[in-house]
Structure 1
């Protein structure tokens, strides 16, 4: 792995992306590696709006396709700020030699905000200027496993339902089938430590 690296985790809600991102972060930190852990939506002002929309505290359209498009624009704006802000922007950290690990990136916009070809074109345009990650890790689980894990949570957000997750799974399969960056698809139903070891082999090779 080069001195600075942008590492992205993707997957369905409940797939284990946050767990594996945290495991990788702790592993690199113990080695004394400069590393940062982040997520999308970000903790910035636009990211906070998105979180409020998902929790229902901030009202957007009740029509699903319109809501998806609203989120596509908001996520692109949040992503631009996430990459470029002067406080903790990803690009600035990478220039400083920090490895940045993020759960979710523009792949999630294709997965979660697209139900038509027009949607794919809009998301593609909104995200066209954003750089590819150095490493992309897709933690793949069946929708049934995602739903089983989500059922243990005390509350769910707007997208955490079977109909949406089945579409998201199809969209992930579509976008990653034609992605040519450095990519690992890992079985998210394996034991946590086995997944972690597979990820380490991928990013450290």
Structure 2
């Protein structure tokens, strides 16, 4: 019987470097001989990637917060069914760039107090949390500058400005305090290699 895999997630404000750190961790674990799936949200499956295009592009006010919660939950359910759960059942390490904690922040508290709605839908349709969440904590102004510097098409949330990033940073740190059993906070205001070393140390201790 194959042992169940491990589910790791990265969280943080836009431009925090979490996507880079997720990729570096995946590369490290593969060199260690582990079977790794690197994925992302919204996205990670064919249907979820289609929803990604809907929620990350267009005007900031394209969707209400309530509609976004439904879209993100639908994308996450498809991602869970088609990518995450099959990989975990096969004993793989799943590394996901964002998961439900981002919805708790960006939709649950950015435009009203909708956290309870996010949690209700999560409990009903998703029903699981990561084994370990790495929060890359970054200065909001620096993060936003990095994110806007990418000049990509998916800038809908960056277009809300630095006030949202300040709110999200405080919210993520509050989540880390709320879920102390699975969150680890990493100082992202350093060079990439120093952050990566801390991430690797935390994860390798968890996987032993």
TM-score under structure 1 length normalisation: 0.87
What CA distance in whole angstroms lies between the structure 2 residues aligned with 1:99 and 1:106? Answer: 18
* Root mean square deviation, CA, Å: 2.0
Q: Residues 26-85 of structure 1, C-alpha deviation per residue, up to 9 Å, x if partnerless? A: 1111222110100001143243223233222xx8x937xx62221111111111111112
What CA distance in whole angstroms lies between the structure 2 residues aligned with 1:110 and 1:91? Answer: 21
What CA distance in whole angstroms lies between the structure 2 residues aligned with 1:200 and 1:163? Answer: 31
Q: Residues 140-188 of structure 1, C-alpha deviation per residue, up to 9 Å, x if partnerless? A: 0011111221232224511102132222222212222211332210000
Moved over 4 A (4+): none
Aligned length in residues: 195
What CA distance in whole angstroms lies between the structure 1 residues aligned with 2:103 and 2:31? Answer: 32
What CA distance in whole angstroms lies between the structure 2 residues aligned with 1:68 and 1:9? Answer: 22
1:146 aligned partner: 143
For the residue of structure 2 that corresponds to 1:6, the secondary structure is: strand
Q: Residues 103-161 of structure 1, C-alpha deviation per residue, up to 9 Å, x if partnerless? A: 000000011002333x0110010112421111110000011111221232224511102
Uncovered stretches (5+) of structure 2, i.e. residues with no partner: none
TM-score under structure 2 length normalisation: 0.86
1:114 counterpart = 2:108: yes
Write the mapping of 1:154-193 to structure 2, written as runs, cut at 5 A. Answer: 154-155=151-152, 157-160=155-158, 161-193=161-193
1:98 aligned partner: 92
For the residue of structure 2 that corresponds to 1:138, the secondary structure is: strand
Uncovered stretches (5+) of structure 1, i.e. residues with no partner: none
What CA distance in whole angstroms lies between the structure 2 residues aligned with 1:77 and 1:95? Answer: 21
What CA distance in whole angstroms lies between the structure 1 residues aligned with 2:133 and 2:75? Answer: 20
What CA distance in whole angstroms lies between the structure 2 residues aligned with 1:163 and 1:192? Answer: 25
After superposition, the Cα gap between the structure-2 partners of 1:28 and 1:191, relative to the gap in structure 1 and judged at 3 Å, is same
What CA distance in whole angstroms lies between the structure 2 residues aligned with 1:201 and 1:144? Answer: 28
